[in-house]
């Protein structure tokens, strides 16, 4: 099993290219099941989760090829299965997103209960209630969710009891081929959902309400071929900007979108970082100073993203002052605090919050990642620490960061991937 060895204490300096967004690419790949026409996707990141989704499309009978430019060419013309197998679904929660497209196009979908990061309960009941409102019958057999329709899905007026990104994406994809008009209320507003809307629209879907809490979808008979470029990964961009701040360095991320990073950039400025935006380039310069502590409360977009909470926890370890980080989305997303304590951090868990008393120095230590973003936070802590840090279970980080050690090496990090 791979692990990272990091020798920290050096400011990071340089430029980092930002990859396509994993959380946009995964639902877009699932949406390719909605049409028999060939699709071409650009800027798809090379990640373990993307590989799993491609394998899942193949298990259903889809064909995915990479052309000479690195783009994905996808055909779901001859799908021969409606069953997403446990062996693939158990490793990635986003696998549930094939349910909406399969149900909409074929009237049947069988998906194993999904797995993924151990960051708390993320039930799929809201997905299923939405499908039932559109006329689907739901059954659970042998660990599989079986959804069927007689005569196809019907448009409906559905309000989510709570904001859910996956639920919004699944019902949105199902509604584009449903009979009549669907109104989805209290939907998630993440940029990745807007990217999915734009992709579906490029295929001929009739959708309005982008960037609001209500989406109106008028079902169409079929969708067409298209070429589409996946948006940049705002979480990857934010992670490298925080790494610059934590190490007292200066990093420019290239190919990013500052509009997607609103509160993240605001919090970096609160920490004393000089943040400059020039088109699709964002520079975070700590000016050689120690960062200031910043409080964070996670919330659905446009609030502070839960996927950046752990990285700001790492930043606060070496900041001047006391900070409180409060997690409101996932109940188990503070597990990294215990690992950071191993590095000499003054960090205390208080219910759904962590309280961090920043120190001028933390020390390298062996630590273990528990999920994707916790992995990134431990890498940042290792880069800021004095001495050597070993980060185990980095298969988590490979699910969401493309070539992270190579990108960090390019800006001066002493980080090496090793194998037991």
* Range name among 57-71, 88-102, 168-182 with the lowest pLDDT average: 88-102
pLDDT digits (tens, 9 = 90+) for 219-230: 999 999 999 999
pTM score, two decimals?
Answer: 0.95
Share of the chain above pLDDT 90, in %: 86
Query: What is the pLDDT averaged over residues 116-137?
Result: 76
Binning pLDDT at 50, 70 and 90, where does residue 116 land?
Answer: very low
Does the pLDDT value for residue 118 go beyond 50? Answer: no
Binning pLDDT at 50, 70 and 90, where does residue 119 land?
Answer: very low
Does the pLDDT value for residue 340 go beyond 70? Answer: yes
CA dist., res. 373 & res. 178, Å (int): 36
Question: Which of 117, 156, 226, 250 is an active site residue?
Answer: 117
pLDDT digits (tens, 9 = 90+) for 298-309: 999 999 999 999
Residue 124 has a pLDDT of 86
Residue 420 has a pLDDT of 80
Whether the upstream peptide bond of residue 302 has omega within 30° of 0, thus cis, is yes
Residue 228 has a pLDDT of 98
Binning pLDDT at 50, 70 and 90, where does residue 121 land?
Answer: very low
Sequence-distant (6+) residues with CB within 8 A of 216 are: 181, 182, 183, 184, 207, 208, 209
Residue 73 is among the residues annotated as catalytic for this protein: no
Does the pLDDT value for residue 122 go beyond 70? Answer: no
CA dist., res. 414 & res. 393, Å (int): 19
Query: What is the pLDDT averaged over residues 123-144?
Result: 92
CA dist., res. 12 & res. 208, Å (int): 43
Residue 206 has a pLDDT of 98
Query: What is the pLDDT averaged over residues 397-413?
Result: 96
Residue 371 has a pLDDT of 86
Residue 123 has a pLDDT of 67
Q: Is the dihedral of CA 312, 317, 323, 325 positive or negative?
A: positive
């Amino acid at each position: 099993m791979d692990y990272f060895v990091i020798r920290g204490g050096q400011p990071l300096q340089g430029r980092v290219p930002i990859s396509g967004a994993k959380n946009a690419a995964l639902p877009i790949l699932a949406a390719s099941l909605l049409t028999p026409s060939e699709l071409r996707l650009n800027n798809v990141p090379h990640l373990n989760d993307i590989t799993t989704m491609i394998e899942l499309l193949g298990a259903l009978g889809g064909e995915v090829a990479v052309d000479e430019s690195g783009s994905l060419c996808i055909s779901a013309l001859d799908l021969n299965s409606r069953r997403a197998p446990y062996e693939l679904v158990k490793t990635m929660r986003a696998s549930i997103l094939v349910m909406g497209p399969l149900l909409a196009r074929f009237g049947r979908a069988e998906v194993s209960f999904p797995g993924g990061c151990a960051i708390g309960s993320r039930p799929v009941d809201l997905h299923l209630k939405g499908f039932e409102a559109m006329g689907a019958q739901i059954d659970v057999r042998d660990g599989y969710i079986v959804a069927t329709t007689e005569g196809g899905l019907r448009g409906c007026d559905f309000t989510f009891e709570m904001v859910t990104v996956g639920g919004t994406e699944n019902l949105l994809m199902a509604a584009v081929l449903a009979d009549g008009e669907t109104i989805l209320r209290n939907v998630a507003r993440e940029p990745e959902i807007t990217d999915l809307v734009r992709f579906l629209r490029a295929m001929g879907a009739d959708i309005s309400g982008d960037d609001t809490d209500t989406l109106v979808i008028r079902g169409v008979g079929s969708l067409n071929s298209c070429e589409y470029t996946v948006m940049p990964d705002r979480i990857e961009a934010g992670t490298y900007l925080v790494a610059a701040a934590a190490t007292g360095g200066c990093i420019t991320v290239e190919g990013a979108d500052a509009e997607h990073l609103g509160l993240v950039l605001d919090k970096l400025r609160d920490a004393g970082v000089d943040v400059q935006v020039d088109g699709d380039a964002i520079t975070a310069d700590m000016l050689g100073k120690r960062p200031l502590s910043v409080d964070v409360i996670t919330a659905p977009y446009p609030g502070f993203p839960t996927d950046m909470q752990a990285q700001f926890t790492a930043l606060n370890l070496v900041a001047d002052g006391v900070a409180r980080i409060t997690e409101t989305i996932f109940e188990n997303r503070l597990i990294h605090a215990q690992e950071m304590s191993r590095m000499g951090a003054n960090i205390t868990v208080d219910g759904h919050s962590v309280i961090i008393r920043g120190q001028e120095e933390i020390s390298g230590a062996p630590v273990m990642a528990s999920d994707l973003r916790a992995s990134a936070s431990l890498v940042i802590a290792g880069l800021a620490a004095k001495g050597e840090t070993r980060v185990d279970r980095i298969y988590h980080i490979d699910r969401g960061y493309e070539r992270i050690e190579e990108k960090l090496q390019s800006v001066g990090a002493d980080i090496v991937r090793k194998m037991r």
